[in-house]
């Protein structure tokens, strides 16, 4: 690895500058939202008009907004719980279940990556109407479990795969039942990954718009509330203040989740660094969506 790095050193400077420019491109448009949320003007344009907290003040005491926030939090928590539970069981059975059915379920669980959100939305809209409860918060929960499922399955599968197989076998050899092995050995060992999967599933749900658009009844989520406000140019600064708050929360949750995930993987790999069966991630734990 070191020789390769030295070999390719010549191009490194230019490439480094390019990566910097790329990061600026990645972050600049997003950071404009916080910038203009403090700008004392109804329009997002230069020159800046002066600093204000006025737009943040308009956020409080808005009952439609706090209702949407409450909906998003409840839906996010339930959907993340469901998606994490499915992610744990699906990936565990995929690896240790020794059954073709478990492998099939695991493959289908990652399928939503290959379905555009609009189609997930309409298929569930038809389904919930058929069942009878129609567009509602429950419907959005089901939609968000689907959207978050590939993430939780991939995270949990790489975590379980990184736990040395000998630990699982030792537990069974010492007389632990399948259930005890799962609950007392495998679950505690993968706790950081479970928390990380839950947080990322929560974020996915909290920020999701495309599927929720089809499944929302009379109670919108936060992104749907933002969408409804985009029609009114007057509420643009309020949307930016709200967007800033959401971005801040997303960054913090995602940061904690990423740190947990890397910690967990690093800890798991310490005992036998040499010959792990290749998990679906690199050694640094980057998500690898492409299924086999």
Partner 1 sequence: MGNPMSTIVARQPLPESRSSTGFRLAMLLPGGLVTFFLILFALGLVVFLALRGNDGSLLGAGFTFANFITVASDPLYWTVTLRSLAIAGLVTLATVVTAYPVAYYLAFHAGRRRGLLLFLVTLPFWTSYLLRVFAWKIVLAYNGVLNSALIESGIWSEPTLAFLNTPAAVVVTLAHAYAPFAILPIYVALDTIPKSLLEAASDLGARPFTSFRRVVLPNSMPGVLAAALVVFVPTVGDYVTPALVGGPASTMIGTLIQAQFGKANDWPFGAALAVAVMLVILAVVLVVRSADRRFGSRT
Q: What is the largest CA-CA distance in the chain?
A: 72
State the minimum distance, in angstroms, from the CB of residue 290 to partner 1: 3
Piece in contact with partner 1 (CB under 8 A), picked from 57-65, 96-104, 187-195, 269-277: 96-104
State the minimum distance, in angstroms, from the CB of residue 179 to partner 1: 5
Binding residue (CB under 8 A) for partner 1 from 105, 155, 211, 268 = 105
State the minimum distance, in angstroms, from the CB of residue 219 to partner 1: 18
Piece in contact with partner 1 (CB under 8 A), picked from 61-69, 92-100, 158-166, 189-197: 92-100
- Residues in 200-219 at the binding interface with partner 1, rule: CB under 8 A: 200, 203-204, 207-210, 213-214
DSSP labels for the chain? -HHHHHHGGGGHHHHHHHHHHHHHHHHHHHHHHHHHHTBSSSS--SSP--B--HHHHTTTT-HHHHHHHHHHHHHHHHHHHHHHHHHHHHHHHHHHS--HHHHHHHHHHTGGGGS-HHHHHHHHHHHHHHHS--SSHHHHHHHHHHHHHHHHHHHHHHHHHHS-HHHHHHHHHTT--HHHIIIIIIHHHTHHHHHHHHHHHHHHHHH--TTHHHH--SS--HHHHHHHHTT-GGGHHHHHHHHHHHHHHHHHHHHHHHHHHHHHHHHHHSS--S-----SS-TT--------
- Residues in 10-49 at the binding interface with partner 1, rule: CB under 8 A: 10-12, 15-16, 18-19, 22-23, 25-27, 29-30, 32-33, 36, 43-47
Binding residue (CB under 8 A) for partner 1 from 239, 241, 265, 268 = 239
Closest CB to partner 1 among residues 27, 53? 27
Count of residues interacting with partner 1 (CB under 8 A): 112
Residues in contact with 197: Cβ distance below 8 Å, sequence separation at least 6, in sequence order: 83, 84, 87, 88, 151, 152, 155, 156
State the minimum distance, in angstroms, from the CB of residue 63 to partner 1: 22
- Residues in 54-73 at the binding interface with partner 1, rule: CB under 8 A: none
- Residues in 246-285 at the binding interface with partner 1, rule: CB under 8 A: 246-247, 250-251, 253-255, 257-258, 262, 281-282, 284
Rule CB under 8 A: say whether 186 interacts with partner 1. no
Closest CB to partner 1 among residues 36, 198? 36
Rule CB under 8 A: say whether 77 interacts with partner 1. no
State the minimum distance, in angstroms, from the CB of residue 168 to partner 1: 11
- Residues in 107-136 at the binding interface with partner 1, rule: CB under 8 A: 108-109, 111-119, 122-127, 129-130
Rule CB under 8 A: say whether 227 interacts with partner 1. yes
Piece in contact with partner 1 (CB under 8 A), picked from 58-66, 187-195, 241-249, 267-275: 241-249
Residues in contact with 52: Cβ distance below 8 Å, sequence separation at least 6, in sequence order: 38, 39, 40
The residue among 265, 258, 246 whose CA lies nearest residue 205 is: 246
């Amino acid at each position: 690895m070191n020789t390769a790095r030295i070999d390719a050193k010549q191009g490194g400077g230019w490439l480094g500058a390019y990566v910097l420019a790329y990061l600026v491109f990645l972050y600049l448009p997003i950071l404009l939202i916080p910038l203009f949320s403090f700008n004392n003007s109804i329009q997002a344009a230069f020159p800046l008009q002066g600093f204000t907290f006025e737009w943040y003040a308009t956020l409080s005491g808005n009952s439609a907004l706090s209702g949407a926030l409450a909906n998003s939090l409840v839906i996010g928590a339930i959907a993340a719980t469901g998606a994490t539970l499915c992610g744990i069981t699906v990936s565990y059975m995929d690896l240790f279940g020794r059954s073709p059915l478990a492998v099939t379920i695991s493959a289908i669980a990652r399928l939503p990556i290959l379905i555009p959100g609009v189609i997930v939305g309409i298929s569930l809209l038809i389904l919930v109407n058929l069942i009878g409860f129609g567009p509602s918060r429950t419907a959005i929960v089901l939609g968000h479990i689907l959207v978050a499922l590939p993430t939780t399955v991939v995270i949990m599968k790489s975590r379980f795969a990184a736990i040395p197989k000998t630990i699982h076998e030792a537990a069974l050899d010492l007389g632990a039942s399948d259930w005890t092995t799962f609950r007392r050995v495998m679950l505690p060992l993968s706790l950081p990954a479970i928390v990380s999967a839950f947080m990322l599933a929560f974020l996915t749900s909290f920020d999701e718009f495309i599927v929720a658009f089809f499944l929302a009844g009379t109670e919108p989520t936060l992104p749907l509330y933002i969408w409804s406000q985009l029609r009114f140019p007057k509420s643009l600064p309020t949307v930016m203040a709200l967007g800033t708050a959401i971005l801040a929360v997303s960054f913090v949750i995602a940061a904690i989740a990423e740190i947990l995930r890397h910690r967990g993987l690093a800890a798991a790999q310490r005992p036998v660094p040499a010959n792990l069966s290749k998990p679906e991630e690199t050694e640094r734990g980057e998500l690898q969506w492409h299924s086999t």
